[in-house]
Every structure is written in structure tokens, then in C-alpha cells.
């Protein structure tokens, strides 16, 4: 397998393809990547500076997005922002899947030509990414010319290398899933809305129809052993782990060759097979290539990694694991390209314990949710309550409860207590405890409660980083919030307000450091948590750090350690009274 993956296979076939199919169409251009820092990155950067590359699946435009699409985008964006936080270059790619039978039928039903129909759908997904403050550098559309060129080139290589052949194909085909299923993967069911008996996929529940046609096939079966070897060498490739086990079992049970084209009389909306206008390329082969399209494929010699490939993390829903974890690596192996480093698979959001689906209308409009609760609150809720291993049930009630307990009552209350508290000064506490004498030795040695909290401050960033390195976005957030809850508990036991009141009534320089110690530990907890919450709640985390007076240059993950910033403590924003300067104001209404 390693020898196959090391082959570039680009130079000679690239020239052949240019002459045979699309003369003068392969022009290598540099691309600019927009990062959260607004700094431009170029594909002309040295190979040694490969950026961290994250992708979402590309979304079908046959219907409006629901909150599940938003969840996928947010997970990927959090991962990207985490890399930026650690001082790394990172690229995020999202986009829309605009070819295939579903789009062809949906546009016909709407009475609109396919391209304008796709334009409208793509704009909606672009708007969703912008509304959720997703910092995507690329938005790929499968109707883009550069994507079509990349797909045709990939097809040419697969054909040249003998991985594609013509054969008659018969089987159960699902228009909704855009795939064939073997007889063992379908069953007869009663359709609830109509009461009619239909054949449906056991895996997805979507209706299938018997189809017989002559088309092109990809030699998927050839890659069984190589895939199994890859899985064995990379046991943590798919997260969570149990889905990796499912994929291994599926491949071990045997792989049949894959139909990778459709007769044009049945599917006209798509990319035609190079050299055969009677066939349209299978939508999943077309769609999966998008990940390397925006990474600059086909690459000029020496620029293979400049655009980010191989992807460091590909975020997908559990319903498309087979396509991304079996078909996609097999395609890449056949092309001689490296495989993505990690696949993060998440579970679904349900509504009323039923799966969200555009086809049934059982969905949550993400735009309405963002308008109602705000961008940061929705990002926090999705990351905190969303399921990776198991489905999560969406509920406005749960969002409100999370807001009350975690954000208003937890983080917001702590921020107000410390930054607007009477009888102490955050700046004085920072100056006192960040002096030349060791914080731990001078002020904590005889205070077990304070020492325990200081140790938690030291430990938490490492726990968070460990979770992020395992692409456990949810686990990293929960570790951060644990620090907030523990700090509130520490303050409740230490009760600095009592000491502050005593010192106001009877000033005592010898007791003042004791109060400063409590405020310092709480302020450090807020500062460190604020830094680590930036990928999740970029606006609220920025507001918190402004309230603490943390300089913009000191908001990196490297500064998320106790005692690493001695310059903060004077608020950059008015704190005022009432709701002015409050991080998470109380809800006016729970409705």
C-alpha cells in the first residue's frame, strides 16, 4: 500500500490529459485563503509549511439547510479556530453538492433550470456559514469549472491505470441516497404517510427501485486488503472509535465493484464521462473530489501540500461514513494520493426523538435559531450538547436551560463577580501574584483549597489540548466549563467578599495578599477559560477578555497558563451598572 500511496502519478498523465481532452484548460493559479486573522495564505508557500486543512461535507442544495448542517459547520470551524489559537495556519473548506438525480428531480419539480436552482441553494448555505461566523476559506461548488476539471482529470487517471471498466449493472437504486444497494441491504416496508408497500434501504430507510443499465465501474474490490491494512495501521483514523470498527467489519465482509456512472438519458445533470457523452459521472465520485479540488488538485510538482492536502480532519455525519471511509480512501489509493489523517464523524440531531430530515419537514430552521438565541449561544449549545457517538435531541427548552445554568449562572456570573466586585482590584491582584516570587510557594503552600484550584488551573489547558488533539471538540469544551464551575465553587468556599468587607472596615496590609490571592485565582480562571472558549464563542470570549483587560496579543493558547500574563486587570470596556458590561444578561423571557 505504501508504494502505491507514494506514487504521484501526475506529470505524464497530466500532459496526456491536457492534449486528449481539454487543451490549454489546465492553468495553475495561486489561491488566497482568508483566515480568522484576515491574513492571506497562498498556495505558493513552501511545502514544509503545509496548513492544517479541515473540511465539511458538501451539502445538497435540493432543500434548505437545517440545524444539522449548522452543527457540522460549527464543529469544523471550532477545529480551525483551535489551530489558529495555537499559532498554526489553517484552512477550512465547505460547499455544496449540486449534481445528481436528487438535484435534477428537485429543480424539475420547482420548474427551474438546474443551474439557477443550484445558484439559489448555494447562496443559502453561504449565508448560513456567514451568519454562524464560520471562517471558511473556500466554498466549493461542484458546478465550478475548476471542480469539473479536477473530476475529469481524476477520471482520466483512474481509467489510464485500469481501475475503471464498462459492465452491465443491476441492483436496487436509491435516488435519495444516490447509491446502489445489494439485495441483502434492502427490505420490504410499509410507508407510514401513504400506507403503500415499498422496498427501502435498511441503512437509511430511503426508497429504492430496481435498475438495470450498462455503465462504468470502479474496481473497489481490488482495494479490500489495502484498506484493511490502512485501518490496522491507523486504528484511530475514525472518531469515535466504534464507527471505525463498523467500517472494518464492512470491508472484511467483502467489497463489490462500484458503479461510477449513469446513462445520460437517466441522469443528465452532472459531469459527463471524458470521451463518452452517453454517461454521467456518479455523483459521489464527483462530490468526493471536491476536497482535493480546493487544495489545488492537480498539483504542480513540488506544490502537493501547499493547499493543505492531505486533510488533517474531515468532519462528516454518521450517515455518509461508508462513502468517506471506504469509497474515498479507495479512490485516493487508486490516484496515488495520501489519505486524510482523521475523520470526525458525528451523530444526528433529532427533533421530538425523530431524525431531522428535509424530506419529512421535521427540521429546525438554523437561521431562526441563530436569530432567536444569538450566534455564540447556538455555537456553544451545539458543541456542548451535540452528539458524536449518540444522537442528541434538539430542544429550545434545553438551550434556555444551558443558557441559564452554564452561561448566565456559570460563566457570566463569575465574570460579573470578579470584574465588577467591590472591595478588590483585579489589576492589583495580578501585580501582586505575578511578581518575582513564586505564586505557588509564597501564597498557596499553606492554603490547600487555593492550592487545589491552582493545580486545576495548571492541569486544565493540557486536558483541553489533549481532547482537541483527539478531535474531541465536545470533551474540550466540557473540560473548560468544568474550570468555570470549579472556580465558582472555590469562590463560594473562599468567600473573598467577607475578607474584602473586613479590610474596608479595618485595612491590614498583611492580610491584603490573602484577598489578592483569591481574586487572582478567579481572574486567571476567567482569563484561561476565555482564551480556550474563543473557538466556540468568538464574540463572547472576546468580550470576556476585554472585560479582564487582556491584550489582543496575549490571547493565544500559549498564554493559557497561570501566571503567563502579568499585564491584564484593567478593563478595556465600560463595566457600569445593571446590564452594562454583563457577559450574559438574564433572559427577559423563557418563551
pLDDT tens digits for range 482-517: 999 999 999 999 999 999 999 988 999 889 999 999
Give residue 31's Cα distance to chain centre: 22
How far are the Cα atoms of 166, 228, 249, 254, 407 from residue 222, in angstroms, in the given order? 16, 12, 17, 10, 53
Chain length of the chain: 591
d(CA 229, CA 248): 10
**Cβ-contact 286, 47 below 8 angstroms:** no
Rounded Cα–Cα distance for residues 421 and 105 (Å): 62
Q: How many CB atoms lie within 10 A of CB 398?
A: 14
> Which of 255, 584, 260, 589 has its CA nearest to residue 408?
584
User: What's the confidence (pLDDT) of residue 28?
Assistant: 31
* Model pTM score: 0.86
Q: What domains appear along the chain, each with residue ranges and CATH number?
A: 2-22+50-373 (3.40.50.620), 395-559 (1.10.730.10)
207: which residues sit within 8 A by CB, 6+ positions away?
174, 175, 176, 191, 198, 199, 200
- In this prediction, residue 4 carries a pLDDT of 43
Positive or negative, the CA dihedral 347, 352, 358, 364 is: negative
- CB 531 within 8 Å of CB 545: yes
CB 245 within 8 A of CB 270: no
Phi, psi of 299 (to 5 degrees): -90, 140
Distance (Å, rounded) from C-alpha 312 to C-alpha 314? 7
Question: How confident is the model at residue 150, as a pLDDT?
Answer: 97
* pLDDT at residue number 444: 80
Residue 3 contacts by C-beta under 8 Å, 6 or more apart in sequence?
A: none
Q: Residue 261 phi/psi, 5° resolution? A: -155, 165
Tell me what pLDDT residue 175 has. Answer: 65
Q: With contact defined as beta carbons under 8 Å apart, do 54 and 313 qualify? A: yes
**pLDDT value for 442:** 72
Distance separating alpha carbons of residues 350 and 363, to the nearest angstrom:
8
Residues of the chain with pLDDT under 70: 1-48, 169-170, 175-178, 180, 192-195, 212, 358-359, 435-440, 577-579, 589-591
Residue 542 CB contacts under 8 Å (≥ 6 apart), including other chains: 534
Amino acid at each position: 500500500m505504501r508504494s502505491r500511496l507514494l506514487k504521484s502519478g501526475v506529470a505524464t498523465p497530466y500532459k496526456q490529459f491536457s492534449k486528449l481532452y481539454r487543451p490549454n484548460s489546465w492553468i495553475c493559479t495561486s489561491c488566497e485563503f482568508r483566515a480568522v486573522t484576515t491574513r492571506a495564505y497562498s498556495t505558493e508557500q513552501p511545502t514544509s509549511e503545509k496548513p492544517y486543512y479541515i473540511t465539511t461535507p458538501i451539502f445538497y442544495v435540493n432543500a434548505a439547510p437545517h440545524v444539522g448542517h449548522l452543527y457540522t459547520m460549527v464543529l469544523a470551524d471550532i477545529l480551525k479556530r483551535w489551530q489558529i489559537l495555537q499559532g498554526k495556519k489553517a484552512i477550512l473548506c465547505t460547499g455544496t453538492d449540486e449534481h445528481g438525480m436528487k438535484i435534477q428531480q428537485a429543480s424539475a419539480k420547482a420548474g427551474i433550470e438546474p443551474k439557477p436552482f443550484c445558484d439559489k441553494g448555494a447562496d443559502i448555505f453561504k449565508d448560513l456559514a456567514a451568519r454562524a461566523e464560520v471562517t471558511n476559506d473556500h466554498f466549493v461548488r461542484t458546478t465550478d469549472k475548476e471542480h469539473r476539471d479536477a473530476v475529469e482529470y481524476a477520471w482520466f487517471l483512474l481509467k489510464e491505470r485500469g481501475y475503471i471498466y464498462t459492465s452491465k449493472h443491476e441492483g436496487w437504486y436509491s435516488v435519495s441516497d444516490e447509491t446502489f444497494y445489494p439485495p441483502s441491504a434492502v427490505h420490504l416496508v410499509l410507508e407510514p404517510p401513504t400506507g403503500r408497500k415499498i422496498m427501502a434501504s435498511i441503512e437509511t430507510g430511503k426508497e429504492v427501485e430496481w435498475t438495470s443499465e450498462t455503465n462504468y465501474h470502479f474496481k473497489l474490490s481490488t482495494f479490500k486488503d489495502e484498506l484493511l491494512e490502512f485501518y490496522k495501521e491507523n486504528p484511530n483514523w475514525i472518531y469515535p472509535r466504534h464507527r471505525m470498527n463498523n467500517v472494518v467489519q464492512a470491508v472484511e465482509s467483502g467489497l463489490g465493484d462500484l458503479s461510477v456512472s449513469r446513462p445520460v438519458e437517466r441522469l443528465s445533470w452532472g459531469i459527463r464521462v471524458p470521451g463518452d457523452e452517453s454517461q454521467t459521472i456518479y455523483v459521489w465520485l464527483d462530490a468526493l473530489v471536491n476536497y482535493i479540488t480546493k487544495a489545488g488538485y492537480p498539483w504542480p510538482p513540488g506544490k502537493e501540500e501547499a493547499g493543505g492536502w492531505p486533510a488533517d480532519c474531515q468532519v462528516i455525519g454518521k450517515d455518509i461514513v461508508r462513502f468517506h471511509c471506504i469509497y474515498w480512501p479507495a479512490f485516493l489509493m487508486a490516484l496515488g494520493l495520501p489519505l486524510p489523517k482523521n475523520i470526525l464523524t458525528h451523530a444526528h440531531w433529532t427533533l421530538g426523538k425523530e431524525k431531522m430530515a428535509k424530506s419529512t419537514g421535521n427540521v429546525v430552521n438554523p437561521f431562526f435559531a441563530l436569530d432567536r438565541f444569538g450566534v455564540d449561544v447556538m455555537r456553544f449549545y451545539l458543541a456542548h450538547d451535540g452528539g458524536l457517538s449518540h444522537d442528541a435531541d434538539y430542544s429550545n427548552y434545553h438551550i434556555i436551560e444551558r443558557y441559564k445554568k452554564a452561561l448566565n449562572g456559570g460563566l457570566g456570573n463569575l465574570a460579573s463577580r470578579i470584574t465588577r466586585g467591590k472591595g478588590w482590584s483585579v489589576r492589583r491582584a495580578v501585580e501582586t501574584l505575578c511578581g518575582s516570587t513564586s505564586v505557588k510557594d509564597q501564597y498557596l503552600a499553606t492554603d490547600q483549597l487555593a492550592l487545589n484550584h491552582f493545580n486545576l488551573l495548571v492541569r486544565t489547558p493540557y486536558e483541553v489540548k489533549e481532547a482537541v488533539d483527539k478531535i474531541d471538540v465536545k470533551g474540550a469544551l466540557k473540560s473548560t466549563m468544568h474550570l468555570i464551575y470549579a472556580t465558582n465553587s472555590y469562590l463560594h468556599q473562599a468567600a473573598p467578599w467577607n475578607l474584602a468587607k473586613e479590610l474596608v472596615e479595618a485595612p491590614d496590609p498583611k492580610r491584603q495578599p490573602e484577598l489578592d490571592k483569591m481574586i487572582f485565582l478567579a481572574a486567571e480562571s476567567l482569563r484561561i477559560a476565555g482564551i480556550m472558549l474563543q473557538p466556540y464563542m468568538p464574540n463572547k470570549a472576546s468580550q470576556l477578555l476585554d472585560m479582564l483587560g487582556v491584550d489582543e496579543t496575549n490571547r493565544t493558547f500559549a498564554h493559557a497558563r497561570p501566571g503567563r500574563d502579568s499585564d491584564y486587570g484593567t478593563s478595556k470596556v465600560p463595566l457600569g451598572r445593571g446590564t452594562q458590561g454583563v457577559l450574559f444578561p438574564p433572559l427577559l423571557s423563557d418563551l
